[in-house]
Structures are given as structure tokens and as C-alpha cells.
Amino acid sequence: MYFKQLVKEDLGCASYMVGCINKGVCAVVDPRLDMVDDILELAAAKGLQVEAVIETHNHADHISGHGEIARRTGATIYIHEQAQAEYPHKNLKDGDELVLGVAKLRVIHTPGHRPEHIAIAVADTSRSEDPWLVLTGDSLFIGDVARPDLAVAGEEGADALYDSLFERLLQLEDGVEVYPAHVAGSLCGRGMNPKTSSTIGYERKHNTAVAPRPRATFIADMNENLPQRPPNMYTIVERNRGDYAQEEAPLQLLALDALAFQREMERGAQVIDTRSPHQFCEGHIPGGIDVFLRGSAFATRTGFVVSSASRLLLVVKDERDLHDAITQLAVVGFNQVVGYLDGGMDGWREAGLPVEQLEQMSIDELHEIYQGQMILDVRDQSEWDEGHIKGAKHIPYYFLEERYQELDSSQPLAVICAGGQRSTIACAILQKHGFTQLLNVLGGMDTWNRVGFETVKK
């Protein structure tokens, strides 16, 4: 039996290929859109024909590549009957089996994260009929379990998840290997371990999320301290459920000189500056939002501050960054990228167009004056709860667009996050709304804590 895990760390996604070398066939499970080329190249290199694409559920945080693989290979798409898929597919139900040479895949219906969710127990029948591994999708993670609130009310989802975990998955043998559809970095759980695989026995013993407890306690626990929901969630689910053959083609990407770029801005397109926070602070286009491409979670953070229906304009460092930005944005549902600034910021300046700066402040400088300084902390709630600067105000960066009026734009404001990326996003949003006395704190709370400066909790 052939088995391969493929991981994309930006959104914490894992896809799988399982099949039989002797028969030359395989199935692909939970492929992400931007992984299709890699998957098909791997299949060709191994001499495998992709006969099946299996979706464990309608994904809410990224666009799936199931349709593209089916279009390019003729593979059949399989998904649970409750998914209400609108594309050509075969419905799955609990207990169904798919045999690919020596690889036998058995469906385990595991609702909770979503009603249609399935796990897949995989046996290598050349050795045993017993499962060797289980592809748990978004149900059982490494060190965590799925969040229950993305498709139904959190209490309803957690109630179903309780049975899926304790009555289904954790009934497998200790030695069965666990391979989830998400690893650390995903918004589909709360505390995933950086490891990408485990075993049923190890998770049963060491995963606190599946510690034995009454159903009511589990339901309450599963609905505490949930992270922000994935951006563009409903749009992404509908696209993954919909008929991929009917999708509109992405806009043709245009290289725009500075004046053409400005005209698109005047028509309502939003500028996303993918350069580093330092480069953005030194000089940027007024109204642009800096989301660092080479930082953490570029696509997710863009989705948090810009609607997927928005027409986007990009400022990039080079052609490689352009390609990567377009690809990552497409994965979270952005297919309305109008163009990019040809010549970059040098071309913008040479055209005599306005440039904004953003003042930066070191941790030491902030510490010297912080007791008399207005400070805005834009980290997530869980980070704030772990420790923050006394007297700071807390508004996560993805809520600033609707809450900026809580702040006094006539006073200097130091903006801080963990390391400086989200604070730059926050400052860009505030600049759009007329804040002119902003100080972007370099190094963020990571440096503040490392130096040993005082923090308070809750």
C-alpha cells in the first residue's frame, strides 16, 4: 500500500494520497486547491492513476481542489450524503468501503464539526484487514479536537462530536495511526500540537480534549475559548459545495502603472501591500493595508480585514511574491485580484503620487512612557488573557473596522501585537479612518515579555 501525507503550513492543512502501487491506482483525500499540481505530479511519479477524490466534509477555511482534480483526471468525487454537494459525485454513508488494490478505505460517519463529516479507516489488506491508520479530517486532531460551531449551534455540534469521538474514533485499537486534515496553524481547532500524526492510544492517554467526562461537561468545554471563525467562511463553504464547472474564471491579472493603479483605487479596489511591516512603515500608498506575505497566515489575515467580494490591488516585492500572493488568496476565496503595481513603490514615487509613513517605536521606548501612553493591543482574546500591558485597551485587529470609533484619533496611540505584523495591519486600518498619531511597536509583546517588563492578566 502507498500512503503519503502532504502538509501546507500557512493554514495548517493536510492532504493525503492512499493507494496501491501494484494496481497503479490511488485516492486523494481533502486536497487543497493550491496543492493540486503537487498531488498530480506525485501521482505521476509513482505511476498512480487518481481514481477517487474524497472530501471528509465541506471545508470552511479554504477552497478545495476536488473539482480541479476531477476535471484533470476523470476521478470520481466522494462525499457524505448530508453534504448537499451540487457537483457530480457519489454519496457516502457510514460503513461504505472503497477498495483500491490492497488499500481498503472504510467510511466512519463522525458529525460534530459539520453534520456531513466523515473519517476514513484505512487498511493495508496485504498485511491485515485491521485498520492501519485513520484519516480523521476535522474531528480528532493531534492534541485537540474540532471546534463544533462552524455549521450548527456550538452545543448541538459538541453533542454530536461527543459520540463521534468517544463512541466511534476512540473505539479503534491503540496502535491505529491518526492523520488529521489540520495541524497547528488552523482556525478549526484551539490547541493543536505541531506534530502531524499520532496514534489512537497516545491521543486517548494524552489529549486533554478527549479526557473522559460527562457529556454536559464536554459540551460546555468545547464551546469555551473558541478562536475567531475562519474569514469568508460561508462563501468558502458554498463554493466547495457548489458546481465547480459553473464557477466564474478569475479576473485577468494586469500589470498597472502608477496612474492606472490609482484609477482602480478610485473605482473602489482595495490595496493589499504584501511587503514587510518595516518596508510598509517607511512608505506606502494611502489607504493600503499591509499584510506581510512572508509572515504568518497571510491569506487568513487578509480575509479577516477584507471581504472576499472585494476587488484587490497588490503591492509586491517581485514576481515570486506576486505568484505566491495570488495563489494563497485564491485558497481563501479571493478571485477578484485586479492587478499589481508595476514598478512597485519606486514607480509610485516617480509618478509624484502621495506616500504615507508610519512611525515605529521600540519596546524600550514604549516602556519608558507607557504609563502615560494610550496603548492598543490588537492580539486575539486568548493572548490578551495570558498577559497584557497594564492600562492598554484591547481590540483584536479584525474588529477594528467596526470599533475604531472607540478610540480617540486626536491623541497619540501606540499599537502592539505579538511581533509587529498584526499591529501594522491595525495601524493601516486606523490610518484609513483619519488617525495620524500612530506608533507601531516593534517587537511586540513577545519582546516585552522576553525583556521581563510587567504584565497583568484579565
Q: Using one digit for the tens of pLDDT, what is the confidence trace for 343-402?
A: 999 999 999 999 999 999 999 999 998 776 799 999 999 899 999 999 999 999 999 999
Closest CA to 326 of 251, 262, 230: 251
Give the amino acid at 438.
L
DSSP codes of every residue in 201-247: HHHHHH-GGG----HHHHHHHHTSSPPPPPTTHHHHHHHHHS-GGGP
Q: Using one digit for the tens of pLDDT, what is the confidence trace for 401-433?
A: 999 999 999 999 999 999 999 999 999 999 999
- Cα angle: 359, vertex 364, 365; to 5 degrees: 40
Q: Using one digit for the tens of pLDDT, what is the confidence trace for 303-345?
A: 999 998 899 999 999 999 999 999 999 999 998 999 999 999 9
Which residues are 377's β-sheet partners? 394, 416
* Domains of the chain by residue range: 2-235, 248-350, 359-451
What is the model's pLDDT at position 371?
73
Cell numbers at residue 150, please?
462552524
What number of other Cβ atoms are within 10 A of residue 305's Cβ?
21
CB neighbour list of residue 432: distance below 8 Å, 6 or more residues apart = 287, 289
Closest CA to 27 of 56, 49, 58: 49
Closest CA to 224 of 207, 205, 209: 209
Q: Residue 189 carries which DSSP code?
A: S
- Residue 26's φ and ψ, nearest 5 degrees, are -155, 165
What is the Cα–Cα distance from 36 to 34, expressed in whole angstroms?
A: 6
What is the Cα–Cα distance from 288 to 265, expressed in whole angstroms?
A: 10
CATH superfamily of this structure's domain 359-451: Rhodanese-like domain (3.40.250.10)
Edge to edge, the sheet with strand 118-124 lists: 97-100, 103-109, 118-124, 133-137, 177-180, 198-199
Region class of 232: left (phi > 0), else alpha (psi between -120 and 50), else beta? left
Q: Determine the distance from the C-alpha atom of residue 13 to the mean position of all C-alpha atoms in its chain, rounded to a whole number.
A: 8
3-state secondary structure of 92: strand
Give the amino acid at 37.
D
CB neighbour list of residue 127: distance below 8 Å, 6 or more residues apart = none
Closest CA to 325 of 290, 287, 284, 280: 290
CA torsion angle 132 136 139 140 (round to 10): 40
Q: Using one digit for the tens of pLDDT, what is the confidence trace for 201-244?
A: 999 999 999 999 999 999 999 999 888 888 889 999 999 999 87
What is the model's pLDDT at position 209?
96
CB neighbour list of residue 414: distance below 8 Å, 6 or more residues apart = 361, 366, 370, 373, 374, 375, 376, 439, 441
Q: Which CATH number fits domain 248-350: 3.40.250.10, 3.40.1080.10, 3.30.460.10, 3.20.20.100?
A: 3.40.250.10
Architecture of domain 2-235: 4-Layer Sandwich (3.60)
pTM: 0.90
Region 76-82: mean pLDDT is: 98
Region 173-200: mean pLDDT is: 85
> Which band of pLDDT confidence, cut at 50, 70 and 90, is reported for residue 192?
confident
Give yes or no for residue 188 having a pLDDT over 60.
no
Tell me whether domains 248-350 and 359-451 share a fold: yes
What is the model's pLDDT at position 289?
98
What is the Cα–Cα distance from 242 to 237, expressed in whole angstroms?
A: 8
For 174-205, b/e burial (b = at least 16 CB within 10 A) is eebbbbbbbbbbbbbbbbbbeebebbbebbbe
Alpha helices in 149-199 (DSSP H): 154-163
Contact criterion met (CB below 8 Å) for 385 and 394: no
What is the Cα–Cα distance from 415 to 438, expressed in whole angstroms?
A: 7
- Cα angle: 164, vertex 167, 170; to 5 degrees: 85
Q: Using one digit for the tens of pLDDT, what is the confidence trace for 9-50?
A: 877 899 999 999 999 999 999 999 999 999 999 999 999 999
